[in-house]
């Protein structure tokens, strides 16, 4: 349905952006419940260098919907705004699910996406107001029966530009995303800017132990055979780690496995897989695994694991991260993140957090009540996780009863 509205950081290396136009205004809104209907506008925005993260790549969203959300009763709710020339201004890649008597709209990707945001043309991102965004959301809520928008894990800035949703009242998301701004002219300089010389020396000493293994190497998967070998190892390693911690294995799910496998295969033939796999291997085993999304501007972690064999004592997971930092430096990738949630190894490499926030908005009576409750619950979750004593006690209890 179309509705007309009358409305009185460093440059990205992957694109050359034209000067900003005069402030654009929204002339038309489309709301699509099929991904294919939104695809032309989506791809047009991507090709123009719109503000987004690697998780908003069309292929990533399409694979997630095909393999995961489609089986959970989740349907697309893609909101596209156009200017008076019919050119897309922005796209909100949302989906809708029915839960506890309500229709809830949220970003594509669920727990598999660490960073969520709209896809914004730069001129509209600089000029849009909270009132205009709210009008768009209200329209979609009215036409598609949305009670509440649960828009979580949004970065404060997108490619150096303030996220337009930061105009709304918001709160920090429960889990910070740990990120490294990659500096230096090449990989070696990037690593030196990231780690102290003493730590680099310590990890190199450990890597020399691994280099004694037959066939030791660092690789980025370039063939389906490499992708399957690395991914199958990840599933086995992760299952072992989660079992040891008393945590349910979220990867013991055929839909999730199918999504990850499809993402690791699609695009391999062009050198741009939807999910990029990196690994260390030697001595007849895959020693450590990293999988993430890479748009040439940012490499963002989705999955990682390391061996539980005797070779694990030489810290292959940390050594793989040194190779990834150097990979980013050599390929002029400006940002590298290790995903959401605190871990000591993340702070070793990534000294910044993303400033991620949640925007939760109710557009019906029940939705407004739900928004208040969701806001409170996510605030409590962040407080609980930020309290080391409580969080460590919870993890100990989980292991004990697991």
Q: Please, what sign has the CA dihedral across residues 321, 326, 327, 328?
A: positive
Say if residue 152 is in the same domain as residue 234: no
Cβ neighbours for 39, distance < 8 A, ≥ 6 positions apart: 58
> What percentage of residues in the chain have a pLDDT greater than 90?
75
- pLDDT level of residue 388 (50, 70, 90 thresholds): low
pLDDT tens-digit series, residues 116-135 = 999 999 999 999 999 999 99
- pLDDT, mean of residues 371-384: 84
Say if residue 151 is in the same domain as residue 195: no
Asked if residue 264 belongs to a domain, the reply is yes
- pLDDT, mean of residues 291-306: 96
pLDDT tens-digit series, residues 338-352 = 999 888 999 999 989
- Both tokens of 256, joined, read 């999730």
pLDDT tens-digit series, residues 273-286 = 999 999 999 999 99
Say if residue 394 is in the same domain as residue 321: no
Secondary element (H or E) of residue 149? strand 148-154
Weakest-pLDDT range from 126-135, 149-158, 369-378: 369-378
Query: What number of other Cβ atoms are within 10 A of residue 279's Cβ?
Result: 26
Say if residue 93 is in the same domain as residue 187: no
Task: Quote the Cα angle for 112-117-358, to 5°.
Answer: 80
- Of the candidates 102, 101, 224, 79, which has an alpha carbon nearest to the alpha carbon of residue 164? 79
Which residues, in sequence order, are bridge partners of residue 162?
A: 157
Say if residue 30 is in the same domain as residue 152: yes
Say if residue 228 is in the same domain as residue 364: no
- pLDDT level of residue 105 (50, 70, 90 thresholds): very high
Query: What number of other Cβ atoms are within 10 A of residue 235's Cβ?
Result: 19
Query: What number of other Cβ atoms are within 10 A of residue 61's Cβ?
Result: 24
- pLDDT level of residue 392 (50, 70, 90 thresholds): low
Task: Please determine, for residue 355, whether its predicted confidence score (pLDDT) is greater than 90.
Answer: no
Weakest-pLDDT range from 196-200, 245-249, 262-266, 331-335: 245-249
Q: Output the pLDDT for position 354.
A: 86
- State pTM to two decimals: 0.88
d(CA 122, CA 67): 32
d(CA 290, CA 288): 7
Domain count of the chain? 2
Asked if residue 41 belongs to a domain, the reply is yes
- pLDDT level of residue 12 (50, 70, 90 thresholds): very low
Task: Please determine, for residue 262, whether its predicted confidence score (pLDDT) is greater than 70.
Answer: yes
CATH code at position 226: 3.40.630.30
Asked if residue 268 belongs to a domain, the reply is yes
pLDDT tens-digit series, residues 32-77 = 999 999 999 999 999 999 999 999 999 999 999 999 987 788 999 9
d(CA 317, CA 324): 11
Asked if residue 76 belongs to a domain, the reply is yes
Say if residue 164 is in the same domain as residue 275: no
Say if residue 149 is in the same domain as residue 265: no
- Both tokens of 343, joined, read 């871990």
Say if residue 238 is in the same domain as residue 380: no
Q: Output the pLDDT for position 399.
A: 52
Which residues, in sequence order, are bridge partners of residue 87?
A: none
Say if residue 28 is in the same domain as residue 144: yes
User: What is the average pLDDT value for the chain, to the nearest integer?
Assistant: 89
- pLDDT, mean of residues 24-34: 92
Q: Which residue has the tokens 């050119």?
A: 87
Q: Which long-range contacts (CB under 8 A, 24 or more apart) does 66-70 make?
A: 66/259, 66/262, 67/255, 67/256, 67/258, 67/259, 67/262, 68/110, 68/112, 68/255, 68/256, 68/259, 69/95, 69/108, 69/110
- pLDDT, mean of residues 84-106: 95
Task: Please determine, for residue 335, whether its predicted confidence score (pLDDT) is greater than 80.
Answer: yes
Contact 70, 85 (CB under 8 A): no
Weakest-pLDDT range from 7-11, 140-144, 375-379: 7-11
Domain limits for position 260? 183-333
Q: Output the pLDDT for position 19.
A: 43
What's the alpha-carbon Rg for the chain, to the nearest Å?
22
Say if residue 187 is in the same domain as residue 172: no
Say if residue 292 is in the same domain as residue 323: yes
């Amino acid at each position: 349905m179309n509705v007309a509205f009358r409305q009185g950081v460093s440059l990205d290396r992957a694109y050359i952006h034209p000067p900003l136009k005069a402030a654009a205004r929204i002339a038309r809104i489309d709301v699509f419940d099929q991904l294919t209907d939104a695809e032309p506008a989506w791809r047009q925005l991507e090709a123009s260098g719109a503000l987004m993260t690697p998780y908003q790549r069309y292929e990533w969203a399409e694979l997630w919907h095909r393999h995961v959300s489609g089986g959970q009763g989740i349907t697309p709710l893609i909101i596209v705004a156009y200017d008076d020339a019919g050119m897309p201004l922005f796209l909100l890649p949302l989906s809708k699910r029915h839960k506890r008597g309500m229709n809830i709209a949220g970003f594509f990707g669920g727990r598999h996406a660490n960073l969520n945001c709209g896809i914004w043309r730069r001129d509209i991102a600089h000029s849009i107001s909270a009132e205009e965004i709210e009008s768009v959301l209200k329209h979609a809520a009215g036409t598609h029966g949305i009670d509440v928008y649960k828009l979580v894990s949004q970065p404060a800035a997108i490619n150096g530009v303030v996220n337009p949703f930061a105009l709304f009242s918001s709160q920090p998301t429960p889990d910070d995303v740990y990120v490294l701004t990659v500096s230096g002219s090449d990989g070696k300089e990037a690593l030196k800017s990231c780690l102290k010389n003493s730590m680099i020396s310590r990890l190199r000493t450990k890597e020399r132990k691994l280099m004694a293994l037959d066939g030791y190497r660092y690789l980025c998967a370039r063939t389906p055979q490499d992708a399957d070998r690395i991914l199958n190892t990840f599933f086995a390693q992760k299952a072992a780690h989660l079992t040891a911690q008393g945590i349910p294995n979220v990867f013991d799910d055929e839909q999730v496995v199918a999504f990850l496998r499809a993402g690791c295969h699609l695009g391999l033939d062009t050198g741009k897989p939807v999910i990029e796999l990196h690994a260390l291997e030697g001595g007849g085993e895959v020693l450590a695994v990293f999988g993430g999304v890479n748009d040439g501007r940012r490499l963002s972690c989705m999955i990682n694991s390391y061996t539980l064999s005797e070779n694990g004592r030489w810290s292959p997971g940390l050594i793989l991260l040194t190779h990834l930092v150097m990979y980013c430096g050599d390929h002029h990738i400006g940002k590298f993140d290790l995903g959401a949630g605190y871990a000591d190894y993340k702070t070793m490499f990534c000294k910044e957090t993303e400033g991620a926030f949640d925007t939760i908005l109710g557009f019906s009576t029940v939705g407004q009540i739900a928004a208040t409750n969701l806001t409170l619950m996510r605030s409590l979750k962040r407080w609980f996780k930020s309290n080391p004593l409580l969080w460590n006690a919870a993890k100990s209890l989980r292991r004990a009863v697991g």
